[in-house]
Amino acid sequence: MRLRQMAVAFLINEEEQILFLQKKEKSAFLPGMLVPVGGHIEITEMNEPKVACLRELKEETGLTEENIHHLTLKYIVLRMKGIEEIRMQYVFFGHVPKARPLLESDEGELSWLNQEEIENASVTATTKEIIDHYRNEQENEHVYVGTMKANRENPAITWALLEDWETYNKNLKPRLKS
């Protein structure tokens, strides 16, 4: 079994549009699809998905950490790909002024999309599920874990709040080993 880790960012501007990358038709991964900016986590970044996300953002948009406000981990999504691979995606959200200049990317073309455009665009089921959940939960500061599943042949994500039960339940007494 192989574990493939990715880090992506949904960057939102003041008009509530989200920045997407339209992959080139000849791309080996998701050709022609609109995807959030991001990519695979390098071996040296395995314990620091935010570092990987920032590297990908700089490579694909020219944006640096100083250009992005409140880049925050919101989701960790797990998905089986066949029987040999588990995909783990760290999903960050942040804010960027629309007027901020963006670089041309070798990966594809960058564009800002509003909610209606996203619903009718060529985006993955994972992207749609994440955006739908975020629209309902954006006001809180929680991190969620999602697992992809088939729901009557349609992909869906089951969400769970990721929390440290010891921090949130201070009334628990440590268990003594007998």
pLDDT at 174 over 70: no
Specify the pLDDT at position 161. Answer: 92
Summarize the confidence of residues 122-143 as an average pLDDT.
88
- Selected residue with higher pLDDT from 61 and 175: 61
Predicted TM-score (pTM) of the model is: 0.87
SS3 95: strand
The domain made up of 2-172 has a fold known as Nucleoside Triphosphate Pyrophosphohydrolase (3.90.79)
> How far out from the chain centre does Cα 95 lie?
14
* Mean pLDDT along residues 18-24: 89
pLDDT confidence band for 155 (50 / 70 / 90): confident
The type of residue at 48 is: E
Average pLDDT score over the chain: 87
What percent of the chain stands above pLDDT 90?
57
What is the pLDDT, as a whole number, of residue 67? 93
CA distance 96 to 13: 5
pLDDT at 104: 79
Among positive and negative, which fits the CA dihedral 79, 4, 2, 144?
Answer: negative
What's the rounded Cα separation, in Å, for the pair 93 and 132?
Answer: 13
Q: Is the pLDDT of residue 170 over 70?
A: no
| Mean pLDDT, residues 54-68 taken together | 94
Do β-strands 85-95 and 108-113 pair in parallel, antiparallel, or remain unpaired?
Answer: unpaired
Q: Where are the domains of the chain?
A: 2-172
Closest CA to 115 of 142, 99, 92, 138: 138
Question: DSSP string covering 21-89, please?
Answer: EEE-TT-SSSTT-EE-EEEEPPGGGTT-HHHHHHHHHHHHH---GGGSEEEEEEEEEEEEETTTEEEEE
pLDDT band at 176 (very low <50, low <70, confident <90, very high): low
Residues 52-57 have a mean pLDDT of 96
pLDDT the model gives residue 169: 63
When mean pLDDT is compared across 4-13, 56-65, 122-131, 144-153, the lowest value belongs to 144-153
